Structure 1
Amino acid sequence: MQNSKIKLIGFQIFGHSLFQDGSIFSIQTASQVTSRTKSRVYQLNGHLTLNRTIGIVGINATGKSTLMEIFKGLNDLYLKSLSIDQTSLIHSFRSNERRIRVRTFFASDTDDRFCADTSFAQTLADESTTPAPTKQFEWLITAEKIYHSKTAASKSKYFEFKENQLAAQRSALSQKERLLLSPKDSIFRIVLQQSTMFYDVISTVSLTDSNVVKSFADETPPELLEYLDSSIDYLKYKVDDSGHTLSYILKFKGEENIIVVSNLSDIANYLSSGTIKGITLFYEFLNALRQGATLLVDEIELHVNKQIVRDFIGFFSDPKINVNNATLVYSSHYIELTDDLDRQDEEYILIRKVQTKLCRLNDAKVRTELKNSEIFQNNYLKGTAPSYTRYMNLKRTIVKHNQSLSQDATNTMGSGENSRDVK
């Protein structure tokens, strides 16, 4: 692993209450790379090809955000060596049986490949550290095996391992190692050299319901402002030595007045929500493109013009811009965005009945002449459109509610007339 860099590729999950057992999510290519689509993929090493963009679509409550939070949490647990309760896994793990097993896949740019096969259990927190009135459950690691190989493997079997490729096992640790290792920490870093570098995973999922400006070093690029809102002259930032923003300095073209605010929320009084979201998206996109990171963006179309979203996504699929081989994983309710995905393995469709099924479009066996958006909107895969029966039940509820209000109004008027008669 000397001078190599490792990347989280995907995972397979069992026991999660939302997803079907054995569900797999991966940024690895799963279909043939042609001359027409080769610019949309990149080689991490001599045997592994990855997608530059992955789109996730599904109706409400199918688990799009949860899927991305699990991906981010696994990266932080294994590659950043954080404890479970320091990651997004603490709120993205949900299990009726309070047990989850995850097989997490990694690969390096020097042809190393890994699988962390980990079992998690949710137990009551230690009463000695948690007061009785605030008892909570916590996730702990109960079993763990790490597999490693450098031997060549086909695309379909790249992350299949044999027992003789077992590199570390939690149950085989010495007594001293067990005492030093928390049940909330993984043994994965034991396998890696401490100097091993990794490609980061950047997530904006926690910011989905908020719309705040991300500060650049000293000034928002004027080219970005011109693209988003040509009426803005500049947006600068005054920061202290630690990088904390002290004030925001905004000026519009043709106006002498310079607006200075110290509170981030006050910017929203002067800039449109679309401009604010555009600045934030560009900041995160630029950050990921510089690092070659995997960027997770939930509901990418929120507040932003659809063409701007398309243009921003295009930064990742353009190898002249995406020179560090970053990957964008986004979810969207703007289904037409998926028509821009030229490869069927770039799209995951989440279909929920009792549990959510992760359907990669290349596995769906649909007619190739259909647009990606048509497959979803026409409910071709059954479960990608709201239930008609549930819609009719909701409609009847509205009718009953209106009838009830009308009856109440009639009764009120009637009682008023009666009271006047009595007088």
Structure 2
Amino acid sequence: MKRDDNMRLLRVEIVGCGLFQDKFIFDFVNSDSVRKSYFDNDNALQAYKIKPGIYTQVLMALTGLNATGKTTTLELLSAITQIVMQGKSLNDPSIRRVFFKLLPLMKEKNLEWNVFFFYKHKFYILHSVITAENILNEAVEDSGFKFKFEELKKCKEKVTRKNLGEVASYTIDLNRSEVADNPYLKDDVSIISSFKGFQGSVFPLGQSTNLNLPAWIGVPAEEVVHVFDPNIENLSISRDKEGKTTSRLSFKNHRKFTYGGSPMGLLDLLSSGTIKGLTVLPGIIRVLKLGGYVFIDEIENHFNKKIIEWFFSLFTDVRTNPNGACLIFSTHYPELLDSFKRKDNIYITRRDKENYCECVRYSDFVRRNELLKSKVILENVINGTAPRYQDLENGRKWISSIVNKEGV
């Protein structure tokens, strides 16, 4: 069933994060037109329409060289999405970890953002400033991240793609000082929590990139299990009243063998792709059902390319994505992006001349959509998307000198 009261993120602007030299901007809306091609079937979903000419993306990718800010960018977007859509506090352990990591890079220990969103047929901006002045001072009782200032603004004008990001078009609807005496509003909870009735879900960026553990409870459907391993006959993880978890597993070609024990034992019996797939898929299904956002870092880890393309297809088909859910992921392999029908939903992270990170939109540099996106990126058509030849050559020469040196 289509949900018309979902909150839709349109744009995030972040100021004060020293990782970026200037303001960091990430658009969730289209910059190119949305048209069905001759090859699209009736169920194809390029982007989700919220107003004439304004669509939100259903697939978004971040790609770039190592150490250009992909993971940090995803972490920031995931944290802000949880704060705005789920009412998470700044000091929630998963949120605090993200901001604490950025603490040395925060200018004057402050970080601010504008979150443009669409809710119940109206356009809003949430302007927030957070501070970490006392976070390292254990002597201060209420040390931690806090909201220093917040305003919620509503747009009074007709919004188009072109004026969406013009702050002057919005007027103040709610100021944090107006609710400062509310005993239920804590210093680390956004005033957006006063908005009731948000629909949608968030599958936040977790630790699955480097930590792959079986984290589901229940019996996965056979149809889902066989996407990742068709040899599995039965698989379940259960939790008793004392909170102890146990698992059971049997295979079609070894029916005499049944594993029963800790879920950690599944790591020795199932592939990494099966473990990760069955861990993340319940969250993906929930977001597809309700609408919302899924964040996955390094999506290529543990998965066959066809499995990843199957994930993409879940978001680009109205039958499985009726509410405009969005998958936002990072990848080191731009070949995955060759299956993308659009080019305005790809962001590239790179280093500028002063070695600051920046995040640029692929479509701002490349006009033609028929070009292989992987070729454009790997051939450094957009400067900063491939390793410098001289760096690679210098590394090769150094290694050559070591391996050919006499002695051990």
Give your verdict on TM over 0.5.
Answer: yes
Determine whether 1:282 maps to 2:288: no
Aligned to 2:59: 53
Query: Aligned residue pairs: how many?
Result: 392
CA RMSD of aligned residues (A): 2.8
The offset of 1:112, in angstroms, is 1.5
The offset of 1:16, in angstroms, is 1.3
Aligned to 1:185: 189
Aligned to 1:259: 258
CA distance in 2, matches of 1:202, 1:394: 40
CA distance in 1, matches of 2:59, 2:374: 17
Q: Deviations over 1:283-331 (max 9, x none)?
A: 3322221221211111111111111111121111111221232111111
Q: Deviations over 1:259-298 (max 9, x none)?
A: 3333222101111222222322433322221221211111
CA distance in 1, matches of 2:378, 2:139: 53
CA distance in 1, matches of 2:100, 2:58: 28
Q: Deviations over 1:165-205 (max 9, x none)?
A: 111233x437735x875443322334x2xx32232221243
The offset of 1:241, in angstroms, is 6.0
**Match runs of 1:32-43 below 5 Å:** 32-36=33-37, 39-43=45-49
CA distance in 2, matches of 1:323, 1:64: 29
CA distance in 2, matches of 1:323, 1:62: 34
Look at both structures and tell me which one has the larger radius of gyration over its CA atoms: 1
**Contact 1:344–1:362 (Cα < 8 Å) also in 2:** yes
Aligned to 2:330: 331
The offset of 1:100, in angstroms, is 2.4
CA distance in 1, matches of 2:205, 2:129: 27
**SS in structure 1 opposite 2:392?**
helix
Aligned to 1:121: 131
Determine whether 1:24 maps to 2:28: no
Aligned to 1:316: 315
Aligned to 1:157: 163
TM-score by length of 2: 0.86
The offset of 1:381, in angstroms, is 1.0
Q: Structure 2 stretches of 5 or more lacking a match?
A: none
Aligned to 1:412: none
**Match runs of 1:19-418 below 5 Å:** 19-36=20-37, 39-45=45-51, 48-86=54-92, 87=95, 89-91=98-100, 93-94=102-103, 95=105, 97=107, 98-108=109-119, 110-125=120-135, 126-129=137-140, 138-149=144-155, 151-162=157-168, 165-170=171-176, 172-173=177-178, 176-177=181-182, 181-190=185-194, 192=195, 195-217=196-218, 219-240=219-240, 246-353=245-352, 354-402=355-403, 406-407=406-407, 409=408
- For residues 107 and 327 of structure 1, do their structure 2 counterparts lie closer, same or farther at Cα, with a shift above 3 Å needed? same
CA distance in 2, matches of 1:130, 1:283: 39
**SS in structure 1 opposite 2:381?**
coil
The offset of 1:62, in angstroms, is 1.3
CA distance in 2, matches of 1:81, 1:229: 37
Q: Structure 1 stretches of 5 or more lacking a match?
A: 132-136, 410-423
CA distance in 1, matches of 2:33, 2:174: 34
**Contact 1:220–1:234 (Cα < 8 Å) also in 2:** no
TM-score by length of 1: 0.83
**SS in structure 2 opposite 1:288?**
helix
Which structure's residues are more often helix, by fraction? 1
Report percent identity of matched pairs.
Answer: 23
Aligned to 1:414: none
- For residues 163 and 281 of structure 1, do their structure 2 counterparts lie closer, same or farther at Cα, with a shift above 3 Å needed? closer
The offset of 1:162, in angstroms, is 3.1
**What letter matches 2:396 in structure 1?**
K
Task: Tell which deviates more after alignment, 352-361 or 301-310.
Answer: 352-361
